[in-house]
Amino acid sequence: MKSDHELIRATAVEIAGRLHSGEITPLDLLDALESRVSEIDAAVNALPILCFDRARDHAKRLMLKPPGGRGRLGGMPVAIKDLIDVAGVRTTQGSRIYKDTVPTVSDLVVQQLETSGGIVYAKSNTPEFGAGANTFNDVFGATLNPWNTKLSAAGSSGGSAVALATGMAWLAHGTDMGGSLRNPASFCGIVGLRPSLGRVAGTPVAAIDRTLSVNGPMARNVEDLALLLDAMCGEHAADPLSSLAPATPFLESVRSGGKPKRIAYSSNLGVTPVDPEIAVITEKAARRFTEAGVIVEEAHPDLREAHECFGTLRAFDFAITKSELLRGKRDLLKPEVIWNIEKGLALTVEDMERAQAQRLAMTVRTIEFFETYDLLLTPATIVAPFPVEQRFVAECAGVKFDTYFQWLAIAYAITLTCCPALSLPCGFTAKGLPVGLQMIAPPRGESRLLSGAKMLEDILGLRGTTPIDPRT
């Protein structure tokens, strides 16, 4: 068996193959991870909740089955974002209100992962209720960017992204409303995918038809990402919006060699400023598709209503999920969460009517756009990692933002269109900080998206730049 160091650097696909062959066991992997977490996490604070005893108990039960009968992941450890319930494991949502909560039932996404042979060993850090794209909270403090520990890891799936970038995870779970998978993937130099609505089942909370936030996979490369998506996806009766897994696994689609014919690149989607260095790096990466004979043009769908629409729908979501906390626990909520709940409570039926019509119009125009283009590429974030003490980005390229989340427009505009989108590492700033390229496909187009991402990943040659040891 290889050493712990060699295991940590191996890809998830490679690890899964060794699990299925019986060359290594889930217990070997848990030992390697526990050692790595002990060595690294104090420097970055990515995995504040560990459950290795639970994980080993699960591994031993799984190992009673033959290696080939342990599910798609075969006993692969997976980190779960601390917004999501794991039975018997502390789940705080980054909030002092829930700092001592231990659920008795796991969320559907965790149940599906465990059915697929995943083993939960840790909960990853998140901002309070996932609000704000900088991972800090009053329970565990801030998660630090491993490329420079003075900087933000973004959020809200920052803990998962940092765990992957530092070799404390091979695979990790995240959630995404306005870029919460894509932003930390960009800042940390890993891959994160926001899937189509219903692709990954989750336990409904507050309403059946909440369609802004989704569960999704995070990994170090595209093939690993596809492996985890295959393990996460599928229909579940308890989530009426969930859909059947595709007939062809996503990992098989990634390896199919399919390529886009025509793609579009936009530095700003017509809705946001962008740091000039980020625009140059992402456009250069996008245009490398031409090396494979792909046509690259500057274009984007009309998303002019994105700010107003997302602001309204996000506020409504906060109101229906957090109003009771505002009434009874206001003193324990951070200011941004209070503001968002109150904005939601002030909405009128006319506000909601307008926002829903705007979302529908943007989605229709985007689907029409994909009749011409196979993929749409943009920066995943409009800035490079910023100082961790800075709660959010207040301005960019001389433009001041109206809200704490407006700097995320290049991601949340895509959320509104119901399209799958991922962040792929595409280069580095002059200071050596990672930059992500957002890649977008039409709804239910994950196979097209992943195969295109794998093609560009091969062209760029950046696979294997993580894991790293934290840097100052």
User: Tokens at residue 399, please?
Assistant: 């433009």
d(CA 28, CA 170): 14
Task: For the chain, give every domain's residue range.
Answer: 4-460
Cβ neighbour number for residue 361 with a 10 Å cutoff: 15
User: Tokens at residue 345, please?
Assistant: 């409570």
d(CA 222, CA 235): 23
Report phi then psi at 312, rounded to 5: -70, -50
Classify 255 as helix, strand or coil. Answer: coil
Query: Is the CATH number of domain 4-460 3.90.1300.10?
Result: yes
pLDDT reported for residue 257: 86
Q: Which H, E and C letters describe 84-130, residue by residue?
A: CCECCECCCCCCHHHCCCCCCCCCHHHHHHHHCCEEEEEEECCCHHH
**The length of the chain, given as a count of residues:** 472
Cis peptide before 157 (omega within 30 of 0): no
Largest CA distance in the chain: 63
E strands present in 183-341: 191-194, 214-219, 262-265, 295-298
pLDDT reported for residue 115: 98
Report phi then psi at 180, rounded to 5: -65, -20
User: Tokens at residue 400, please?
Assistant: 């001041």
d(CA 406, CA 422): 19
Provide CB contacts within 8 A for 291, sequence distance 6+: 459
Averages of pLDDT over each 10 residues, the chain, 472 residues: 85 98 97 98 98 98 96 98 98 98 98 98 98 97 98 98 98 98 98 98 96 98 98 97 96 93 98 98 98 98 98 98 96 96 98 98 98 98 98 97 97 98 98 98 98 98 97 94
End-to-end CA distance of the chain: 33
d(CA 393, CA 408): 9
User: Tokens at residue 134, please?
Assistant: 């900088």
pLDDT reported for residue 2: 62
User: Tokens at residue 112, please?
Assistant: 């599906």
Give residue for tokens 């109101």: 319
Q: Which of 417, 336, 415, 351 is nearest to 138 (CA)?
A: 336
pLDDT reported for residue 410: 98
What pTM, to 2 d.p., does this model score?
A: 0.98
DSSP 408: G
Report phi then psi at 170, rounded to 5: -95, -35
d(CA 166, CA 27): 20
Give 15-22's long-range contacts (Cβ < 8 A, gap of 24+).
15/76, 15/170, 16/72, 16/73, 16/74, 16/76, 16/227, 19/67, 19/70, 19/73, 19/74, 19/75, 19/76, 20/67, 20/68, 20/70, 20/74, 21/67, 22/67
User: Tokens at residue 90, please?
Assistant: 């502390």
CA distances from 429 to 30, 280, 281, 395, 425 (A): 35, 10, 8, 19, 12
User: Tokens at residue 177, please?
Assistant: 């409303």
Catalytic site residues? 81, 156, 180
Q: Which of 333, 405, 379, 272 is nearest to 96 (CA)?
A: 333
User: Tokens at residue 335, please?
Assistant: 């200011």
d(CA 302, CA 229): 30
Strand 421-428 to 191-194 pairing: antiparallel
Q: What share of the chain is helix, strand, coil (3-state, %, to 5)?
A: 40, 15, 40
Residue 236 pairs with which residues in a beta bridge?
239
